[in-house]
């Protein structure tokens, strides 16, 4: 549950430095990379050969909030994909290596949730198009961003399509 009094709070996590809005994101990334997640194996599927994948930024620009580059990356990713059919909503997931189609947690927020998790986990992005009328059945309500996170049935999660991404080393430029 977010602290409504602190603008630097998200899903129960509060910034340790109110003068630095990036500290909340940095703390969340450190948590995501903590010991509960196994390190990537060398040669894992997150390694994309040169020329393959959608070019995305590879790190923060000093003095710029990460969401700026995540929004640029989201535009680049969306421009390579087919249009979403009428009556459907595209849900996204930032994956750990080897996880696509196996984890049922998805979001409708590519730049704000899926891309930061993809970066922390070291995998690729995936998406699944879900009938918009069915979204209410899948909304996650505990410890989740309101109306932005969804738990899909395994049959839908298995339909996830992979978007190979390739950090380009330009830090959003």
Whether residue 61 lies inside any domain: the answer is: yes
Pair 112, 32 in one domain: no
pLDDT of residue 47: 27
**Residue 71 sits in which domain range?**
51-167
Among 45, 57, 18, 49, smallest CA distance to 126 is for 45
User: How does pLDDT run across 117-172, given as a tens digit for each residue?
Assistant: 999 999 999 999 999 999 999 999 888 888 999 999 999 999 999 999 888 755 44
Q: What is the mean pLDDT of residues 80-96?
A: 96
pLDDT of residue 169: 59
Give percent of the chain above pLDDT 70: 67
Q: What is the mean pLDDT of residues 74-87?
A: 95
pLDDT of residue 59: 82
Pair 2, 81 in one domain: no
User: For the chain, what is the domain count?
Assistant: 2
CA distance 124 to 164: 6
Pair 66, 111 in one domain: yes
Pair 152, 76 in one domain: yes
Pair 28, 109 in one domain: no
Pair 34, 68 in one domain: no
pLDDT of residue 53: 85
Q: Does the pTM exceed 0.85?
A: no
Residue 55's pLDDT band, with cuts at 50, 70 and 90, is confident
Contact 129, 89 (CB under 8 A): yes
User: How does pLDDT run across 1-18, given as a tens digit for each residue?
Assistant: 444 444 444 444 444 545
Pair 141, 108 in one domain: yes
CA 146 to chain centre: 16
Q: CB-based contacts of 153: which residues, under 8 Å, 6+ apart?
A: 104, 138
Pair 29, 110 in one domain: no
- Mark out the alpha helices in the chain (DSSP H runs): 22-32, 66-79, 115-121, 135-138, 154-157
Whether residue 46 lies inside any domain: the answer is: no
Pair 122, 97 in one domain: yes
* Mean pLDDT, the chain, whole residue set: 76
Q: Which residue has the higher pLDDT, 24 or 69?
A: 69
């Amino acid at each position: 549950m977010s602290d409504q009094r602190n603008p630097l709070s998200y899903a129960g996590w509060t910034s340790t430095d109110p003068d630095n809005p990036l500290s909340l994101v940095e703390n969340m990334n450190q948590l995501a990379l903590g010991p509960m997640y196994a390190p990537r194996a060398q040669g894992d599927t997150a390694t994309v050969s040169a020329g393959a994948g959608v070019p995305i930024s590879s790190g923060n620009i000093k003095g710029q909030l990460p969401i700026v580059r995540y929004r640029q990356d989201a535009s680049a990713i969306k421009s390579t994909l087919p249009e979403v059919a009428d009556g459907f909503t595209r849900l996204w997931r930032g994956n750990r290596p080897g996880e696509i189609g196996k984890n049922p947690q998805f979001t409708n927020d590519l730049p704000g949730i899926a891309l930061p998790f993809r970066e922390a986990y070291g995998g690729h992005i995936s998406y699944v198009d879900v009938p918009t009328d069915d979204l209410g059945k899948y909304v996650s309500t505990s410890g989740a961003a309101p109306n932005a996170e969804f738990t899909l049935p395994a049959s839908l999660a298995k339909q996830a399509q992979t978007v190979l991404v390739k950090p380009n080393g330009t830090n959003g430029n």
